Structure 1
């Protein structure tokens, strides 16, 4: 059995989705002055590698506290969707359905983390998101979002808003974003990705893939 950490480190000044709160990781108590150390954290609920609850985009959607803990352990199917910049991920690009309960989109765009290029990731079409719902999948991606991220290279014909989020979260599915290192994984693996114990619209997670027996 092997384990792989698919999570981004939480650090001051790290990249966030446009408009999200900045991340600060700062000393609060110093060992020399106070005899102990405490670090102050300030960040949004969608910092780094995180999970979206339905309430993220749905007015009456469930918060994370509604979901039993077992929900955050998955039998995952990897989908190789390493397409061009700002390319739509259609139903045709997705693998044949399996008995997995999480479809993990390997866009390869984690290589661009922390750069302006990271905004130009492939995105899930509304039809592909609905297909995921129809086949019982939650969805994860190694990109900033399952929808197009606003940026200077956005095309005039791209969907705006959060069509894929609405299709998934509106159906009670979970969405994970900003995974990393998916090229190390086989097509099927287990994923444990637990949120903080916060009843909110989302939370950073420690996403750990488990392969083998």
Structure 2
């Protein structure tokens, strides 16, 4: 079995979406003083690799904690969309299966620490989103900041159908040579509209 980590490291130097608060990981107790080490985390929910739940964009939508754990794991399906500025339904071949976790690889995660990461990222078309809805997939994961820009039509389409969105993935290129793999996208069990997540791909040889 091979496990690939698709998660950015969480630290104080992480870039954030314009307008979001910067995270702070700060030590508040020390082994030599208190007899133990302790750290405090202060963060918004949309920092680094994270999962959006419906309440992020949908009035009365579900929280992260409302979803069963079965929603968070499933067969992976990767789309190679390197060099594309708009990704439409033509990239979805072969047909998707219900419960799939669809990952879109663009290579844009290489720009994660650069200013343009949050300014000129690729976008998904509405036809792409509707194909995910028709297929009844569980989740969409992307290696860039957002599937869309204001007024966020793709967020609203997918979250309105309870398709979770995982943003800011990395290492997706490591999956391109595998035909079958599973994905575990695990948020904290938070009563919130989103959560930082650890996302793993598992390949069973």
TM-score, normalised relative to structure 2: 0.93
1:179 is aligned to 2:180: no
Match of 1:114 in 2: 113
Q: Report the Cα offset of residue 13 of structure 1.
A: 2.9
Is the Cα contact below 8 Å between 1:78 and 1:188 reproduced in 2? Answer: no
Q: Deviations over 1:67-106 (max 9, x none)?
A: 111111111100011124xx11111233232326111100
Q: Distance in 1 between matches of 2:51 and 2:30?
A: 32
Q: Distance in 1 between matches of 2:44 and 2:25?
A: 12
TM-score, normalised relative to structure 1: 0.89
Match of 2:144 in 1: 143
Q: Deviations over 1:1-24 (max 9, x none)?
A: 100111111101311122112110
Is the Cα contact below 8 Å between 1:125 and 1:163 reproduced in 2? Answer: no
Match of 2:203 in 1: 211
1:163 is aligned to 2:153: yes
Q: Distance in 1 between matches of 2:60 and 2:23?
A: 28
Equivalences for 1:35-74 in 2 at 5 Å? 35-74=35-74
Match of 1:89 in 2: 87
Q: CA RMSD in A?
A: 1.3
Moved more, 164-173 or 121-130: 121-130
Q: Report the Cα offset of residue 166 of structure 1.
A: 0.5
Q: Report the Cα offset of residue 187 of structure 1.
A: 4.1
Unpaired runs of at least 5, structure 1:
149-159
Equivalences for 1:13-24 in 2 at 5 Å? 13-24=13-24
1:5 is aligned to 2:19: no
Match of 1:199 in 2: 191
Match of 1:157 in 2: none
Stretches of 4+ moved more than 4 A in 1?
Answer: none
Q: Deviations over 1:44-82 (max 9, x none)?
A: 112211111011110121111211111111111000111
Secondary structure in 1 aligned to 2:184?
strand
Q: Distance in 2 between matches of 1:204 and 1:48?
A: 7
